[in-house]
Amino acid sequence: MPSVWSQLEPLLSRVQKPARYIGCEDGAKAKVVDETLVNWCFVYPDTYEVGLPNQGLQILYEIINEHADATADRSYAPWVDMEALLREHQIPMFSVEHHTPLNEFDVIGFNLSAELTYTNLLNCLDLGGIPIRQSERGNADPLVVVGGHCTYNPEPLADFVDLVVLGDGEEVVSEITAAIASASLGHDSDAGARGRLLEELASVEGVYVPSLYEVTFDGPRTVSMTPMNGAPDLVEKRTIADLGEWPYPKTPLVPLTEVVHDRLNVEVFRGCTRGCRFCQAGMITRPVRERPAEQVRAMVNAGLERSGYDEVSLTSLSTADFSDVSSVVSTLMDDSEEAGAGPVTISLPSLRVDAFGVQIAAQLQRAKRSGLTFAPEAGTWRMRQVINKLIREQDLYDAVEAAYSQGWSRVKLYFLVGLPSETDEDTLGIAEMAKNCVAIGKRHTKRASVTVSVGGFVPKPFTPFQWFGQNTIEELQRKVNLLRDATRRMKGVQLKWHDPKATAVEGLGSRGDRRLGPVIEQVWREGGTFQEWSEYFNLDRWTQALADHGMSLEDIVYRHRTEDELLPWDHLSAGLHKDFLWQEWQEALAEVGLPDCRWTPCYDCGACTGFGIEHVVASATPPAGGSQGTGQDLSGDQGSAPVPVQLQVGGR
Binding-site ranges for another protein (CB under 8 A): 12-13, 17-19, 21-24, 26, 254, 256-258, 305-310, 339-343, 367-369
> Please, what is the minimum distance in Å from the beta carbon of residue 494 to another protein?
22
What ranges in 15-54 are assigned the alpha helix state H?
48-51
67, 178 in Cβ contact below 8 A? no
Q: Nearer to another protein by C-beta: 250 or 306?
A: 306
Q: How far is the CB of 17 from another protein (least distance, A)?
A: 8
Residue 80: CB minimum distance to another protein, A: 18
The DSSP element (H or E) to which 223 belongs, if any, is: strand 221-227
Minimum Å distance from CB 159 to another protein? 37
Cβ proximity to another protein: between 85 and 490 the closer is: 85
Q: CA of 317: how far to CAs of 53, 281, 351, in Å?
A: 17, 8, 10
* E strand residue ranges, 77-197: 107-111, 143-147, 163-165
DSSP string, 276-298: -TT-HHHHHT-S-EEPPHHHHHH
| Shortest distance in whole angstroms from residue 464 CB to another protein | 43
Which of these, 168, 178, 208, lies nearest to 60 by C-alpha position? 168
Q: How far is the CB of 251 from another protein (least distance, A)?
A: 13
* 553-580 as b/e: b if 16+ CB within 10 A: beebbbbebeeeebbbbebbbbbbeeeb
Beta carbon nearer to another protein, 341 or 602: 341
Rounded to the nearest whole angstrom, what is the least distance from the CB of residue 512 to another protein in the complex?
Answer: 40
How large is the angle between the packed helices 172-183 and 193-201, nearest 10 degrees? 150
Question: Is residue 469 a contact partner of residue 504, using CB atoms and an 8 Å limit?
Answer: no
By beta-carbon proximity to another protein, the closer residue of 17 and 478 is: 17
Residue number with CB closer to another protein (234 or 256): 256
Facing residues of 413 across strands?
374, 452
C-alpha distances (whole Å) from 630 to each of 278, 289, 595, 619, 624 are: 22, 19, 10, 13, 6
Residue from 363, 388, 384, 445 nearest 411 by CA: 445
Alpha carbons within 13 angstroms on the beta-carbon side of residue 556 total 27
CB of residue 505 vs another protein: minimum separation in angstroms? 33
CB of 24: closest distance to another protein in angstroms?
A: 5
User: Would you tell me how many other CB atoms lie within 10 Å of the CB of residue 646?
Assistant: 7
In angstroms, the CA 175 to CA 379 distance is 46
Cα separation, 435 vs 413, whole angstroms: 12
Residue 340 or 612: the one with the smaller Cβ distance to another protein is: 340
Q: CB nearer to another protein: give 339 or 602.
A: 339
21 or 468: CB nearest another protein: 21
Residue among 9 and 591 whose Cβ is closer to another protein: 9
Would you say 18 or 349 has its CB closer to another protein? 18
- Smallest gap from Cβ 49 to another protein, in A, equals 12
Give me the DSSP letters along 483-541.
Answer: HHHHHHT-TTEEEEE--HHHHHHHHHHHH--GGGHHHHHHHHHTT---TTSTTT--HHH
